[in-house]
Amino acid sequence: MTGNDTGRWWRGAVLYQIYPRSFMDANGDGVGDLKGVAAKLDHVKSLGVDGVWLSPFFKSPMRDFGYDVSDYREIDPLFGTLDDFKALLKAAHARKLKVIIDQVWSHTSSDHVWFQESRQDRTNPKADWYVWADPKPDGAPPNNWQAWFGGPTWTWEPRRRQYFLHNFLSTQPQLNYHNPDVPAAITDVARFWLRLGVDGFRLDVANYYVHDAQLRDNPPSSDPAPALPRNMQVHQFNSNQPETLAFVAKIREVVDGHGDNMTVGELAPGSYALMADYTRGQRRLHTAYAFDFLGAWPGVEKMASILSQWGEGLDDGWPSWAFSNHDVTRVATRWGETIGATPPRAAPLLMALLLTLRGTIFLYQGEELGLPEGDVSFEKLQDPWGIAGWPATKGRDGCRTPMPWKDEVMAGFTKAKEPWLPVDVRQRVLAAEKQEKLTESMLHTTRRLIDLRKTSGALSAGAFKVVEAKDGLLVFDRISEQQTIRCAFNFATLRAEIALESKPEVLWAADAVFAGGRLMMEPHAAAIMRLV
């Protein structure tokens, strides 16, 4: 694939993220699996999305629930077999759904055969496949780098009498991309899955592939209220190294060489500036997302500033946006609490905002139902981050609770006596089957908004221009040659009014009406209008 990316399927597309452990359990062991995903593809198709992103289902000891891969080419038996994946891929493609799969290439599991060989001594064939370093003269770790799950990034290996690097859990050793054998091996992994027919990759922590070869100390961050030691430093030298972009260019070449595919990079924690840098031109990631909208409510002024930063030239890069995923508190709770809206009020407002943004959209399973964050007691926690950080943090289990398909004890998710995470009754009453039967529901609202995006050239591919952003009111236009769509959102707890020069065609609205030349908006209202 050559030339610019204009017109490619993923630009402006809506992709549905599936976390397989929690989506649907087909074999009754309490854990979701690939056959379960295949069984629910009709639901996914009914939303009107363009494809799915599957979180990891590869062989793993599951210390970080699949983000610690012990074999890149094998399916973990918990999820099924390679034949199950091929059947799922075929079923998705038959429904004209694209399939992109998670790839965790910055690190492996400590159970991976590469690491098991590497840790034995300093002279074996895999000795330099991971990042090893001698201690300081006093025995301390090589530098001050701090891991994302707490504590130093270094763990002692007595067999080599060296430390190995891990930016996350100590059981997730960092691959050494300064050794050319490593990017070559990972590129072979990419080819393996592309030849099977996947439509691209979601690249986990794509800015963490390469480390500073000199192992220089990270500078302090001056964070006034750091939640963890990692927040006390700028991750200048253990991420975002210039050599990372050289590897990204190679992956781009391989992915484009296998058809009309895509790469989307997770840039952790990242920002819109990093997103632009990693997607600029035709030799970097096709698109990327960072954590600007996956944290605390930014406010309309900051949100408008972030959304306005993107250039619209052929080489200016292409953003992706998500408000929820498997790592963060569900947005209906996370932002809803801040803006003073309950999840039922927040959900349609935030869905309308997400689906009118310029970029590629990632919709996390359950958002179409307006799910609030699940409640998981300490005794039921599975996430090592949550267990270690309790009660200061509850970890990531609350956004990973089972998908509610039916309003019954196990939510139609499993026939087991107990699922891997508990079913939250507040989510169960929002079950897909129940919402399907209602004339007005969040499920039907989501379908309507996706359809509106797909049938509007302005919403799916048009330019973006902020009209107003203050006092909790965000108004922007999406513009194509044929039409201008004005999108208005009131995040305040007070009513708002917007003057319009002429009567618009209201395409969709929630608690907003046009009267007397003005759009009248209740608190937490939204409206999508064609200007005429």
Query: Measured between alpha carbons, how far is 16 from 89 in angstroms, rounded to an integer?
Result: 15
Residue 269 per-residue DSSP state: S
* Per-position DSSP letters for 57-108, written without gaps between them: -EE---TTTTSS-SEEEEE-TTT--HHHHHHHHHHHHHTT-EEEEEE--SB-
Closest CA to 231 of 146, 106, 292: 146
Closest CA to 319 of 282, 347, 365, 285: 285
CB 436 within 8 A of CB 443: yes
CB 327 within 8 A of CB 385: no
Neighbours of 325 (CB within 10 A): 23
Active-site residue, 204 included: yes
3-state helix, strand, coil in the chain (%, to 5): 30, 20, 50
Active-site residue, 266 included: yes
Closest CA to 34 of 64, 57, 67, 61: 57
Catalytic annotation, pick one of 25, 50, 76, 266: 266
Query: Measured between alpha carbons, how far is 341 from 344 in angstroms, rounded to an integer?
Result: 8
Number of residues that this document lists for the chain: 532
Closest CA to 285 of 163, 347, 169, 203: 203
- Cis? peptide before 391, omega within 30° of 0: yes
Pairing type for strands 360-364 and 14-18 reads parallel
62 — alpha (psi -120 to 50), left (phi > 0) or beta?
left
CB 199 within 8 A of CB 264: no
Question: What distances in angstroms separate CA 320 from CA 132, 264, 266, 460, one per listed residue?
Answer: 35, 8, 10, 12
Residue 217: CB partners within 8 Å, gap ≥ 6? 143, 144, 145, 237
Sign of the four-CA dihedral 524, 525, 526, 530: negative
Catalytic annotation, pick one of 204, 277, 367, 373: 204
Pairing type for strands 518-530 and 505-515 reads antiparallel
CB 45 within 8 A of CB 33: no
Query: Measured between alpha carbons, how far is 522 from 344 in angstroms, rounded to an integer?
Result: 15
Query: Measured between alpha carbons, how far is 531 from 514 in angstroms, rounded to an integer?
Result: 12
Catalytic (active-site) positions: 204, 266
